[in-house]
Structure 1
Amino acid sequence: MMMPPRLRKITLIAHIVSSVGSLGAVVGFLSLAIAGLSTESDQVMRSVYVAAELVARSVIVPLVFASLVTGLVQSLGTTWGLFRHYWVLAKLLLTIFTAVVLMLQMSGITHLAAVAADPAFSSTDIPGLRRSLVVHAAGGLVVLLVTTTLSVLKPHGLTRYGWRRLHRQ
């Protein structure tokens, strides 16, 4: 089922904005996570982790899910299809993977923000979780850059389903 041109453009804009917005938000989160890991000031560290949790919960999570939903709408309502091209399928799987990992990390991010809000929090507390934020944010950034690259390059290659659909037409 094809979307009317105006609706297609609106969903495309929404998809681009949410995808690029999540990319920028992850860069900001990564900057906060690196600052929290590398600072010597306990006060700065406490502030950074509280801010990082706010960015993750209020910006990154909604944008990643908006990107997923608008991407699904775009693929189902255009000739690209959801299962016809490898690059669309790869983007879908990478976005789902990103959303799952993000949701799994949210409990740790929330816990770290709650612990960091305590004035007794110091740079020696929870080093593994603090490093994990940097590693996961960097990994998320790489995945988002890959999905952006796939969107721009649109590498050729039809799936088996795509070939069958093409030959039926």
Structure 2
Amino acid sequence: MRPRIRKAVLVIHVIASVALLGEVWGLVVLNTAAALTKDLELAHAAYRLMPLLVFAGGIPLSVTALITGITLGLTGHWGLFRHYWVTVKLVLLVAVICAGMLLFDPEGMAAVTEGGRAAGATRQWSQVAVPGAQIVALMTATALSVFKPRGKLRWPGKRP
């Protein structure tokens, strides 16, 4: 890949990754507010706002970060499965996406608060835990990008 194109892809990757971190932080704040409030209308409004953040920000940003990250890995000298830190970043991003798809359920929480019933405390806090874990994963990926720890993956049959 030409240097200018590579830099453009890198800029898009960094912007999407940082914006995804901000979007997930917003989900943590909304979830925490909904879990701590006694005001069911506020909790319901917070839960109803979350899918908008996910569909307008989380999904496009995570897909953009994934595509640009894979592109950079496949076309750059770091490789996608050559260095530990690049592979770990890929696994963390895929884990963030899977956690969002499989575990995060703000619409279910909104339905629980809709009838004027308070959601179970365990279920509420589990909905805080999912984006909380996503934040930790995204911050770890960011740190790996900055520090680039040494270490290459060893593949069977390949000589160092």
Tell me which of 130, 133, 138 is aligned to 1:136.
130
| Unmatched 5+ stretches in structure 1 | none
How far apart are 1:152 and its partner, in Å? 0.4
* Correspondence for 2:52: 54
* Correspondence for 1:121: 116
2:9–2:68: 8 Å Cα contact kept in structure 1? yes
| Unmatched 5+ stretches in structure 2 | none
Tell me which of 71, 74, 96 is aligned to 1:73.
71
* Correspondence for 2:23: 25
Moved more, 145-154 or 57-66: 57-66
Q: One-letter code of the match for 2:106?
A: I
Q: Secondary structure at the match of 2:60?
A: helix
How far apart are 1:33 and its partner, in Å? 0.2
Q: Secondary structure at the match of 2:119?
A: coil
Superposition pairs for residues 28-39 of structure 1, below 5 Å? 28-39=26-37
Give the TM-score normalised by structure 1: 0.86
* Correspondence for 1:96: 94
Please give the alpha-carbon distance, in whole angstroms, between the structure 1 residues aligned to 2:36 and 2:124. 10
**Equivalent pairs: percent with the same residue?**
34
How far apart are 1:114 and its partner, in Å? 4.1
The RMSD of aligned alpha carbons is 1.7
* Correspondence for 2:142: 148
How far apart are 1:89 and its partner, in Å? 0.7
Please give the alpha-carbon distance, in whole angstroms, between the structure 2 residues aligned to 1:115 and 1:6. 51
1:23–1:144: 8 Å Cα contact kept in structure 2? yes
* Correspondence for 2:108: 111
Q: Secondary structure at the match of 1:72?
A: helix
Please give the alpha-carbon distance, in whole angstroms, between the structure 2 residues aligned to 1:104 and 1:13. 29
Task: Decide whether aligned partners of structure 1 residues 112 and 57 sit closer, same or farther in structure 2, where only a CA change above 3 A counts.
Answer: farther
How far apart are 1:101 and its partner, in Å? 1.2
Q: One-letter code of the match for 1:149?
A: A
Count of residue correspondences = 158
Superposition pairs for residues 34-45 of structure 1, below 5 Å? 34-45=32-43
How far apart are 1:24 and its partner, in Å? 0.6
How far apart are 1:57 and its partner, in Å? 2.4
How far apart are 1:115 and its partner, in Å? 4.2
How far apart are 1:128 and its partner, in Å? 3.1
